[in-house]
């Protein structure tokens, strides 16, 4: 027997019951469901639906159900349909008719969206904490690797020299923006739906402000139609998770390449690498590859639900049941991704000698063009002059710093003996004094800013 079958003359088909049943995945919301139900019981007491004795009885029963669930003592029935009906059945079995009155003035429509918002708000805060930990790992790397000069890349071609710490801090500040997006998702989620009923608002004048305070919501919904049908906060949440996943994937891609024999810039710790079942010499960056691979999962979960939502009218349709699985999956996977990447960064080794050997003197081409500009030549002309110099070097298998000044003077009489001062990686970094650039002081300032953000010394 179902809680809603009074209108029906025959039971649901068994296949329909299986098709309709969301309990296998939404049982994850049992704690949120019970938390919301306790607040609702308190609200019903205030308007006289429950006596004090009944309120205590119902709340004790709900808490006992949660305790038994955590201890593995709860048995769900196929007929329970979803976590809300399961909790109600278990409660009625424990406390009798008082449990049957708990749903007074409440619909599963406002109940499920309350549960989902409670869960999502908590998950967003946990992801945010994970990003803080990841930022701490990045900051550690930036401090430890300060002084290491690496080639910066565009188009996977060596472009200009930068401090490795500058590269690490680029990820730090990107995550700071991701945290701001998470903050906005929390704000969008932090609205109480309970009291909205099925769509028109509860038929009982419960104190919604008091319920919001008890459940930790910062505000109550302004419109019951909007709130019952609202899933925009889930789109925003899944979008943020996809964004974090995609950006972690991009950095993982760089590190995968850097860990290859061809680059050899870094080596992953054994604890975060795997081997081959056939090739005994292999050390594979599977942790990074999985980080990269998971990004497709986060994007897919967003696309999956936004595609479902686009055809759903207002207010509630059963299609909205499809919001839970992509949300739960993204939360679980992203929490793991963030933790793994944090540990990978903390434990990897930077192969400084190999990096130094790989620095291509052509990285200094822009500095040489700037040299001519400082001598009075327009940049476009300087760019063309250095381009010709580079072309000559390539044709004659020379590096940029091997050309004597006399040869450089053939391309411009602005070249003097002082050009050789450019042939230093440390000096090349020193020229980038602009705020936010890769200059020594600029990167120190970035690190100090990071410390302030994280509140560390």
**Catalytic positions:** 155, 276
Helix (H) or strand (E) holding 439: none
Place of tokens 């497709």: 296
Cβ-based neighbours of 158, under 8 Å, separated by 6 or more: 151, 152, 359, 360, 362, 363
DSSP codes joined into one string, 164-177: HHHHHHHHHHHHHH
110-145: b (≥16 Cβ within 10 Å) or e: bbbbbbbbbbbbbbbeebbebbbbbbbbbbebbeeb
Helices (H) and strands (E) in the chain, counts: 19, 6
∠ CA 79-85-88 to the nearest 5 degrees? 120
Encoding tokens for residue 332? 């679980």
- DSSP annotation of 96 reads T
**Burial status of residue 343 (CB atoms within 10 A of its CB: 0-12, 13-18, 19 or more):** middle
Encoding tokens for residue 134? 């990841």
CA–CA distance, 2 with 327 (Å, rounded to integer): 28
DSSP codes joined into one string, 187-220: HHH-EE-TT-TTTT--SS---HHHHHHHHT-SEE
CA–CA distance, 270 with 284 (Å, rounded to integer): 9
Contact 300, 264 (CB under 8 A): no
Contact 327, 189 (CB under 8 A): no
CA 231 and chain centroid, separation: 19
Helix (H) or strand (E) holding 266: strand 266-267
């Amino acid at each position: 027997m179902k809680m809603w079958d009074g209108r029906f003359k025959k039971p649901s088909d068994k296949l329909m019951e299986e098709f309709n049943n969301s309990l296998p995945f939404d049982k994850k919301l049992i704690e949120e469901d019970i938390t919301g139900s306790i607040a609702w019981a308190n609200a019903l007491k205030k308007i006289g639906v429950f006596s004090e004795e009944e309120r205590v009885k119902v709340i004790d029963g709900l808490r006992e159900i949660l305790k038994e669930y955590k201890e593995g003592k709860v048995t769900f029935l196929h007929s329970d349909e979803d976590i809300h009906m399961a909790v109600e059945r278990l409660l009625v079995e424990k406390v009798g008719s008082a449990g049957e009155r708990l749903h007074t003035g409440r619909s599963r429509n406002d109940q499920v969206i309350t549960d989902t918002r409670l869960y999502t708000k908590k998950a967003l805060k946990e992801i945010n904490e994970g990003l803080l930990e990841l930022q701490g790992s990045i900051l550690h790397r930036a401090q430890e690797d300060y002084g290491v000069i690496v080639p910066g890349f565009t188009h996977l071609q060596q472009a200009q020299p930068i401090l490795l710490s500058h590269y690490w801090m680029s990820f730090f500040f990107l995550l700071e923006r991701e945290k701001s997006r998470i903050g906005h998702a929390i704000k969008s989620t932090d609205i109480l739906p309970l009291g909205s009923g099925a769509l028109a608002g509860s038929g009982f004048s419960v104190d919604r402000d008091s319920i919001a305070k008890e459940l930790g919501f910062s505000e109550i919904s302004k419109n019951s139609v909007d709130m019952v049908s609202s899933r925009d906060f889930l789109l925003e949440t899944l979008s943020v998770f996809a964004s974090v996943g995609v950006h972690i994937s991009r950095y993982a891609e760089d590190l995968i390449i850097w860990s290859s024999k061809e680059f050899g810039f870094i080596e992953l710790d054994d604890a975060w690498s795997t081997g081959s079942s056939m090739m005994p010499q292999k050390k594979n960056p599977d942790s990074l590859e999985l980080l990269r691979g998971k990004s497709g999962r986060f994007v897919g979960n967003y696309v999956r639900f936004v595609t479902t939502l686009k055809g759903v009218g207002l207010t509630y349709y059963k299609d909205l049941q499809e919001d839970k699985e992509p949300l739960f999956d993204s939360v679980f996977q992203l929490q793991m991704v963030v933790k793994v990447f944090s540990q990978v960064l903390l434990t990897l080794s930077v192969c400084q000698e190999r990096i130094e050997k790989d620095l291509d003197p052509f990285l200094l081409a822009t500095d040489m063009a700037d040299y001519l500009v400082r001598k009075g030549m327009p940049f476009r002309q300087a760019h063309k002059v250095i381009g010709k110099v580079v072309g000559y070097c390539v044709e004659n298998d020379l590096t940029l710093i091997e050309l004597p000044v006399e040869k450089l003077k053939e391309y411009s009489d602005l070249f003097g003996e002082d050009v050789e001062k450019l042939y230093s990686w440390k000096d090349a970094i020193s020229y980038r004094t602009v705020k936010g650039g890769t200059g020594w002081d600029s990167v120190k300032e970035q690190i100090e800013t990071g410390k302030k953000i994280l509140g560390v010394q």
